[in-house]
Chains A and B, each alone.
Chain A
Amino acid sequence: MAPIVQCMGLTKTYGGKLALNRICLNLERGRIIGLLGPNGSGKTTLIKLMNGLLKPTAGEILIGGQRPGIDTKLHISYLPERTYLQPNMKVMEIVNYFQDFYPDFQADRAYDMLARLQIQPYERLKNLSKGTKEKVQLILVMSRNADLYVLDEPIAGVDPAARDFILRTIVANYNRNATVLLSTHLIADVEGILDEVVFIRQGNIVLQAGAEQIRRNEGKSVDRFFREVFAC
């Protein structure tokens, strides 16, 4: 079976500024992968290209062997680093919205997670705190049976207790044959759940390796190794 993500000479420029530089990358199925890099390294650009929110300047990106389009969107569950829901919608209306558009969405699973967090379905999104809104978005994204979960900075800007919930939710709910791509620069918090890491710097992939392999070969944690690689 083809890798879930294939990048071949993938390049993206904004105006004259290079954001991704001829990236070649394969991501296999059934892995939790950390896309790690400092701010402005190109993580979000790569994620947007996977989701068809940006068009490549050169090169190609394939999701399950297909260019980003309607078919690939059926198989990717994407959590952006911002609130993308209409603030005046009720939580239950948003659940219905996802159910209407994504055939793999499990409403029961969503309501179960909402109940455990005591988030009321009739509450409007604009009345929820920032952290709760992020939890609602994560619940929606993880309630799909997708082949690829793309989570852009899912733990940035939330308190440590919320981080624990988010990571537990990811591990407990993702489809075991699927890949989870998790972008962050808060490596210490996510290291425990990662199978593999991809280091990205200034639009270039500088490392792709197993998390355990790094710990064994380098004799240090991924977080420590990251700090050395990206030392200013």
Chain B
Amino acid sequence: MLGRLMKYEWKATWKLLAPANLLIVVTSFFAWLTWRCMRYDGYDMSNAAVNLAAGILLVTYFLSMFVVIVGSAIYLIWRFYTSTYGDQGYLLHTLPVDKHHIIIAKVLVSTAWILLSIFLMYLSLFLVVGSTMEEFGTVFQEILKIVVTQSYGDTGSAFVVVMGIITMIVGMLARVLKVTAAISLGQLSSNHKLLTAFGFYYAIYIVQQIIGAIYGVVVSYFTYRAGDGALGMMWEFNLITGLVYMVVFYALTWYVMEKRLNLD
């Protein structure tokens, strides 16, 4: 049944999120075209109308990416809430399917959409800005090199890439599950379910910040003593905490759906 749930979840979200992601591709093409023209030798920098048009195009490009990323996240949160605990929940929770399958289907599809949008955004930025500004590419590479060295140490590049991708996916799954857990915990309230959900989200955020701060202080102390100045163990920390958060948030979501379901 997991496959069927994922199929319908994908179909339901596809209608809105596919065109939204297509918007990133389309605006990226026009932004790339505009950027190329602006760097062309024959480009008339003194022509105010052309400058304005180019400016509007580029602003539209950055704005559309922002709207798509933020809008997709808001839509997926709203969809989880309405399809799980709203009117559509009456159908979802009377299907003869395991609650684990419901959670996994929704979380995997939501995470896939967000990762796709982020991937498209980075690809677009790289192609639009990176391909037309050589100095940008060089600076970007240097920053990346510093971040990678500080986070992973001088390890092989293939290992760095694989662990980076795994850490990113785990982190994204944990973020999505944090939202599903907060919304689910909000259902424990009789009258103020949404407000309670926001409260739980904020509380979880605070706890995560405290854990991150404690880790930061401890690591800074030891790396200072070692005298290497590196952040050290950063990706291991992100991966381990990501996995722990995933398990905790998943368990909370499942507990409410299986044991404490109370549809109004």
Contacts and interface: CB of A to CB of B under 8 A. Distances in A.
B4 A100 contact: yes
A122 interface: no
Contact of A83 (B87, B95, B190, B260): B87
| Size bracket of the B interface | 20 to 34
A86 interface: yes
Main secondary structure of the interface of A (DSSP, over half): loop
A53 to B, nearest CB: 5
Nearest to A82: B87
B263 interface: yes
Given A54-B261, A54-B262, A84-B88, A102 B96 contact: yes
A86 B88 CA distance: 7
Contacts of A86: 12, 83, 88
Interface centre among B8, B89, B94 (most CB of A within 10 A): B94
Main secondary structure of the interface of B (DSSP, over half): loop
Contact of B90 (A14, A53, A73, A97): A53
Nearest to A13: B190
| Size bracket of the A interface | 20 to 34
B90 A84 contact: yes
A76 interface: yes
Contact of A55 (B88, B97, B191, B262): B262
A93 B259 CA distance: 31
A78 interface: yes
B15 interface: yes
B36 interface: no
A195 to B, nearest CB: 25
Interface string A71-89: 1011010101011111011
B238 to A, nearest CB: 37
Contacts of A14: 190
B97 to A, nearest CB: 7
B87 to A, nearest CB: 5
Nearest to B3: A100
A71 B88 CA distance: 21
B91 interface: yes
A182 to B, nearest CB: 17
Contact of B263 (A54, A85, A97, A100): A54
B93 interface: yes
A128 to B, nearest CB: 16
A82 B96 contact: no
Interface in A63-111: 70-71, 73-74, 76, 78, 80, 82-86, 88-89, 93, 97, 100-102
A26 B66 CA distance: 58
A53 B94 contact: yes
A82 B12 contact: no
Interface string A155-179: 0000000000000000000000000
Nearest to B5: A101
A176 to B, nearest CB: 23
Given A100-B4, A101-B4, A84 B87 contact: yes
A134 B95 CA distance: 19
A52 interface: yes
Contacts of A52: 93-94, 261
A54 B261 CA distance: 6
B90 A82 contact: yes
13 contacts: A15-B190, A15-B191, A48-B263, A53-B93, A55-B259, A74-B96, A76-B94, A80-B90, A82-B90, A84-B89, A85-B88, A85-B91, A101-B96
Interface of B: 1, 4, 8, 11-12, 15, 83, 87-91, 93-98, 190-191, 259-263
Interface of A: 14-15, 48, 51-55, 70-71, 73-74, 76, 78, 80, 82-86, 88-89, 93, 97, 100-102
9 interchain residue pairs of minimum CB distance? A84-B90, A73-B96, A84-B91, A74-B96, A80-B90, A15-B190, A53-B263, A101-B95, A70-B96
